[in-house]
């Protein structure tokens, strides 16, 4: 059992912070145990993996008073000496170590220093512990209403609560794994937990002979192909108990034209039978849990990460005031110097999954171009921030090369708009607004452009949008012309448009329309009668051309 820091009510849930007892619940009971509680309920805001060389460096210190350190490969004596020799402001709030259970000096040093000490299983993997802690911190940004803060208030809140509820309903021990067989959540274990369950919770592979039998029985193939619950019999020879397992899958939309939607495997739910038999309706309950878990996993994967939220705030996409220096420090960016924003939009339909793949590819290319670059997705657009960037021309050239490399990938291509460099990060929202203006008003064609290159199209498009959005600016006389064409099957509108397009040159317009010039002259006179206008007047021509352009953008 995990010992918590709180004998009564749980600590208040603060956005961006995780109570240490919640973190211990998220880690496997077999791999983490609180050895020394803090002097007060401990909250964790940041986490760091620290080795012996880090401790030997006098400059190593926590980024804040609520930091958790994972002491990887640090001997107990070194950790104890370090804790005893550091001032309070230079110590983390809590440490995790594999040496706590056999080091009374370390226990005493932690207690004297007021640092919470957590012992972890010798076979636990540091990378898994670090990933779990980071994931919990990112998801804690929801604050008091976050699913993690609510705990097991309902089965549709978090995977840990779902695992516990499923365990109670099936009378078994539950583990929920992702598509790579990494444990995401689990229920409490008892003495009937077999070796496979213990190893899975520790992040280790199961017995090779047993895994080979699962493959031979076709368990993995059936899970990939079907939503049905699969029964795995007990193996007395290996000391493994009976299990039920079901896949979790999400149906994703069409990614490439002509290809039907397909299910995507998100992971599996395993229920191990304990000392008592599983409930008679365990299979039905497990099928329902599969659907709930798939929703939870999809929701978590679709939610922006902590870093993505910070980048979006820097871009001005989250509203409210922005503390640029704090954001820059958190993201490791310089506050001064020129910065460039590049916006990317899809050419043609692009499902969210495809856009995410494009964003991942852009992130890699951008990091090679500028190490401090940041990439995030907002709606159907991808934004790239390049601090301390060069000229817009240099960035546009690089962007063009990247689009060329991405063009060979299947699916919709990308187009891009490059904003003019801004003097500091405080002006980044203005740069994002600039690329949005360009992408909003230019054709959805592959290539790279800037506001300077597309100013005519952008300004005209914005004028037309203003006219289209204000009914009082729409000329009702055009309705008469459109109604006449609809009733008589005539072509007065297209004739007027050709006449305006050729600046009043009747012969050129008639050639375009493949009619005799006199026929066009007749149509124009008839249009003037219906409109009550004279197209020889320059102001009239400007107004009619503007109104027709609005109709082409937003037909009524």
Domain residue extents for the chain? 18-148, 151-302, 306-462, 474-553
36-53 per-position pLDDT tens digit: 888 888 888 888 888 777
**CATH class of the domain defined by 151-302:** alpha beta
Class of domain 306-462: alpha beta
Provide the 8-state DSSP code for 36. E
Q: Of 13-27, 34-48, 164-178, 337-351, where does mean pLDDT reach its minimum?
A: 13-27
Average pLDDT on 163-172 reads 88
Euclidean distance between CA atoms 151 and 521, whole angstroms: 77
Residue 28 has pLDDT above 60, yes or no: no
The answer to whether 448 and 399 are in contact (CB under 8 A) is yes
Please identify, in words, the CATH class of the domain defined by 474-553. Answer: mainly alpha
Domain 18-148, second-level architecture: 3-Layer(aba) Sandwich (3.40)
pLDDT number for residue 253: 46
Report residue 465 as tokens.
């949008």
- Rounded to the nearest 5 degrees, what angle is found at the Cα of 130, between the Cα atoms of 266 and 84? 165
User: Distance between CA atoms of 516 and 508, rounded to whole angstroms?
Assistant: 10
Asked if domains 18-148 and 151-302 share a fold, the reply is: no
* Residue among 76, 187, 314 nearest 95 (CA): 76
Judge whether residue 381 has pLDDT over 80: yes
Long-range contacts at 37-40 (CB < 8 A, ≥ 24 apart) = 37/3, 37/5, 37/116, 38/5, 38/93, 38/94, 38/114, 38/115, 38/116, 39/114
Given a contact cutoff of 8 angstroms between Cβ atoms, the answer to whether 349 and 311 are in contact is: no
- CA–CA distance from 521 to each of 8, 498, 502, 527, 533 (Å)? 90, 12, 14, 10, 15
Of the CA atoms within 13 Å of residue 38, those in its CB half-sphere come to 22
Sheet hosting strand 94-97, strand order edge to edge: 32-36, 116-120, 94-97, 67-71, 46-50
Which strands sit side by side in the sheet containing 413-418, from one edge to the other?
374-378, 381-387, 339-347, 413-418, 447-450
- Reported as a single tens digit per residue, the pLDDT across 71-95 is 888 888 888 888 888 887 778 888 8
Q: How far is CA 288 from CA 211, 229, 476, in A?
A: 26, 11, 57
Here the tokens at position 184 are 């995401």
């Amino acid at each position: 059992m995990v010992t918590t820091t709180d004998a009564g009510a749980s600590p208040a849930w603060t956005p961006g912070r995780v109570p240490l007892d919640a973190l211990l619940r998220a880690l496997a009971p077999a791999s983490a145990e609180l050895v020394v509680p803090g002097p007060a309920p401990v909250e964790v805001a940041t986490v760091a993996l620290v080795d012996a060389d880090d401790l030997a460096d006098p400059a190593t210190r926590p980024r804040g008073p609520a930091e958790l350190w994972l002491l990887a490969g640090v001997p107990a004596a070194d950790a104890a000496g370090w804790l005893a020799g550091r001032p309070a402001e230079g110590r983390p709030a809590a440490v995790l170590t594999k040496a706590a259970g056999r080091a009374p000096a370390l226990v005493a040093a932690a207690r004297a220093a007021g640092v919470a000490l957590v012992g972890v299983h010798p076979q636990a993997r540091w990378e898994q512990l670090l990933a779990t802690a980071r994931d919990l911190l990112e998801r804690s940004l929801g604050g008091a209403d976050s699913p993690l803060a609510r705990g097991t208030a309902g089965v549709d809140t978090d995977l840990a609560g779902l695992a516990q509820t499923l365990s109670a309903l099936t009378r078994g021990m539950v583990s929920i794994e992702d598509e790579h067989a990494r444990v995401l959540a689990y229920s409490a274990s008892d003495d009937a937990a077999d070796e496979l369950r213990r190893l899975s919770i520790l992040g280790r592979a199961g017995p090779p002979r047993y895994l080979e039998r699962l493959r031979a029985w076709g368990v993995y193939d059936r899970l990939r192909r079907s939503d049905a619950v699969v029964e795995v019999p007990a193996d007395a020879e290996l000391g493994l108990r009976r299990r039920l397992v079901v896949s979790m899958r999400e149906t994703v939309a069409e990614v490439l034209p002509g290809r039907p939607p397909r299910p995507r495997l998100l992971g599996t739910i395993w229920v191990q039978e304990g000392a008592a038999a599983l409930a008679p309706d365990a299979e039905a309950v497990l099928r329902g849990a599969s659907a709930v878990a798939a929703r939870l996993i999809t929701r978590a994967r679709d939610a922006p990460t902590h870093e993505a939220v910070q980048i979006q705030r820097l871009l001005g996409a989250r509203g409210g005031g922005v503390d640029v220096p704090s954001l820059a420090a958190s993201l490791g960016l310089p506050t001064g110097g020129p910065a460039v924003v590049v916006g990317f939009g899809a050419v043609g339909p692009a499902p969210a999954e495809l856009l995410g793949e494009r964003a991942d590819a852009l992130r890699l290319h951008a990091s090679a171009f500028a190490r401090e670059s940041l990439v995030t997705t907002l709606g159907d657009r991808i934004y790239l921030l390049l601090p301390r960037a060069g000229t817009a021309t240099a960035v546009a050239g690089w962007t063009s090369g990247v689009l060329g490399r991405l063009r060979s990938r299947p699916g919709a291509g990308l187009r891009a708009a490059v904003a003019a460099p801004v003097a500091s990060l405080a002006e980044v929202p203005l740069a994002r607004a600039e690329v949005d203006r360009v992408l909003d008003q230019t054709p959805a064609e592959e290539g790279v452009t800037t506001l300077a290159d597309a100013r005519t199209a952008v300004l005209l498009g914005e004028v037309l949008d203003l006219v289209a959005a204000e009914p009082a600016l729409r000329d009702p006389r055009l309705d008469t012309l459109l109604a006449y064409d609809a009733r008589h099957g005539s072509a007065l509108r297209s004739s007027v448009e050709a006449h305006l397009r050729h600046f009043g040159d009747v012969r050129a317009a008639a050639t375009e329309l493949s009619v005799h010039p006199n026929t066009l002259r007749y149509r124009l006179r008839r249009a003037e009668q219906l409109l009550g206008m004279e197209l020889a007047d320059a102001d009239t021509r400007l107004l009619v051309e503007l109104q027709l352009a609005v109709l082409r953008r937003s037909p009524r």
